[in-house]
Chain A
């Protein structure tokens, strides 16, 4: 392990620091509460290290500039919140289709619409999955601490490059604005792509055999990048077999690397009767409950926290459902991921939603009460 030094930082700052450590040198953004600190950090730090910070004229432009910079060979990031995330959707879909790596941070706030700009919520979980149109693959990380904000942003940047896939880091206002100790290692955490240097002369940017490296424009290969369905060389096509194959291919790359993408963490009893499935800031409340119930009182309780919410950790939920009687899903929305949990529990366990959508966090007491009801 590299040497580490403890730093007190905010979730948004940690996200910016992680991105820089993972080699992000391009940020295009637009101010929006509660994500503005990411932009402000990038504005202050990127010019010092030879990076580019542009404040764009709107949210759509920010996302578009990030796509352009990625094609220019940069590692890129943009950050926003609810209303801005809605505006970015068309360009996000384009990046997925054209397989352009980039990382989009959405610090969730209370919605819909302008909502409560300064209140936390987890209402964008389904939007992160299905916000842009069409059957598209997506990876969504959901940090539950400042530490995770740092490391999951690094993972997002590196994975995004490796898979040529846009990745969403779904923070929430609590984690974004919370200050905690983070252990920052010395040195870079950037994963270089070894295959960048030796690209065959017959370069297929959308090679059917796997994920071809993205050769930036101006580096000797001429090819098309388009949001239309395209063949291996990037040329638009409407040929039904090719269209089907192309759509399968962008989904298959996520399935192939599932082990690297789907991150979850279980704590608690080995043979639990009641389990909590949580993500984002609700993990904190749930963890407090499990600590008390299991570590202090040895009750059969466990917590499965999801660092990755999409692709959905179906296997983990299936395995958990076989062990427990009840799964409680606390969410700061009207019940979004609980549907997925229920789907993959396949009737093996009772799935109970626990929702709060008044702009306040779910308290440990609320979870504790619900857990107590089923023990």
Chain B
């Protein structure tokens, strides 16, 4: 499908929002509003989107937005859903939008609680792999080897990126999926599918960040696609925590990770030994994922 052919009537992101040029997070939400329609209530935790959503007199979105404290996204979403239900507004889709910090780090406790109670809303994490709003500090979503302002040269982020999808799968939630902006059709299909399901739904969107990652604003889609074709960020979905399914398989052999890393300033001067280590990690995760997909029983 060509991008011009995509349905735009339900798009609710205004032009002139406050995102940087080439922002993956803004694009993610643009696709999100296309998929979910206009009857949504958005809960936003502290993140770049707190700014993107608009400073007076502007607003970037045509829907009600509840900006909530940093650690509370999961819990505030629970409250909004229960409140709407109690008032009989069952048709409104509650969407919680959080960055990687508000999901992987400070928001994890609230997220886990909501997932465990199987609260009926969609939790969307747009992952730009660091605290970008405060100026690129490490988060537990930052990949190994990246340089940030709290791990400046010659230091680098040590330790693996937290596997949030496995954590969500372990909560046995009805639906969890990964998506990224280079595959808008896949992203929208997943959101539409999530909207049909009742219970806690989790969408993890890789959103490239040009100023943070040190890339040109025109490279966002290219990088997002490379992340998928290298296997660094595979696109899959998990039903009920047990049925794993690939939704977008890279064609042919996976592209070497080096190509993905090379174009980004945050991986500049990364030694070959570390690139190899990260490649090994990606390979290992890929195999584990394939194993899970292979052994998953399709749901009846």
Contacts and interface: CB of A to CB of B under 8 A. Distances in A.
Q: Do A and B come together as binding partners? A: yes
Interface of A: 30-33, 36, 39-40, 43-44, 47, 53, 55, 57-59, 83, 87, 113-114
B106 A33 contact: no
Contact of B134 (A32, A44, A59): A32
Given A58-B71, A114-B67, A39 B137 contact: yes
Nearest to A47: B155
B150 A57 contact: no
A11 B108 CA distance: 33
Contacts of B138: 55
B73 to A, nearest CB: 13
Interface string B96-113: 000000001110100000
A83 B137 contact: no
B256 interface: no
Given A36-B134, A55-B137, A43 B149 contact: yes
A114 B137 CA distance: 19
A43 B149 CA distance: 8
A113 B68 CA distance: 9
Given A31-B135, A44-B155, A57-B140, 8 more contacts: A31-B137, A40-B149, A55-B137, A55-B151, A83-B69, A87-B71, A114-B46, A114-B69
A36 B148 CA distance: 13
B144 interface: no
28 contacts: A30-B106, A31-B131, A31-B134, A31-B137, A32-B134, A36-B134, A36-B137, A36-B149, A40-B149, A40-B150, A40-B152, A43-B149, A43-B152, A44-B152, A55-B137, A55-B138, A55-B150, A55-B151, A57-B105, A57-B108, A58-B106, A83-B69, A83-B70, A87-B71, A113-B69, A114-B46, A114-B50, A114-B69
Interface string B142-171: 000000011110010000000000000000
A40 B147 CA distance: 12
A39 B108 contact: no
A39 B69 contact: no
B150 A31 contact: yes
Nearest to A34: B134
Contacts of B70: 58, 83
Contacts of B46: 114
Q: Which 3 A-B pairs have the closest CB atoms?
A: A58-B106, A31-B137, A57-B105
B10 to A, nearest CB: 30
Contacts of B108: 57
Contacts of A53: 150
Interface residues of B, number: 21
A164 to B, nearest CB: 29
B150 A43 contact: yes
A36 B155 CA distance: 18
A36 B138 CA distance: 12
Given A30-B106, A31-B131, A58-B106, A40 B69 contact: no
Interface string B51-80: 000000000000000010111000000000
Contacts of A113: 69
Contacts of A31: 131, 134-135, 137, 150
B19 to A, nearest CB: 17
A59 B106 contact: yes
A47 B134 CA distance: 22
Contacts of B151: 43, 55
A57 B109 CA distance: 11
Interface string B196-235: 0000000000000000000000000000000000000000
A7 B67 CA distance: 41
B135 A36 contact: yes
A171 to B, nearest CB: 17
A39 B131 CA distance: 13
A119 B244 CA distance: 47
Contacts of B50: 114
Nearest to A59: B106
A39 B140 CA distance: 16
Contacts of B69: 83, 113-114
A47 B137 CA distance: 16
B165 to A, nearest CB: 18
Contacts of B149: 36, 40, 43
A53 B151 CA distance: 9
A73 B131 CA distance: 31
Contacts of A59: 106
Contacts of B152: 40, 43-44
A53 to B, nearest CB: 7
A78 to B, nearest CB: 13
A58 B134 contact: no
B45 to A, nearest CB: 10
Nearest to B46: A114
A83 B155 CA distance: 29
Interface string B252-283: 00000000000000000000000000000000
Nearest to B149: A40
Contact of A39 (B71, B106, B150, B155): B150
B42 to A, nearest CB: 16
A26 to B, nearest CB: 15
Contacts of B67: 114
B13 to A, nearest CB: 22
A58 B155 CA distance: 21
A297 to B, nearest CB: 43
B127 to A, nearest CB: 15
B113 to A, nearest CB: 15
Q: Which of A31, A40, A47 has the most CB of B within 10 A?
A: A31
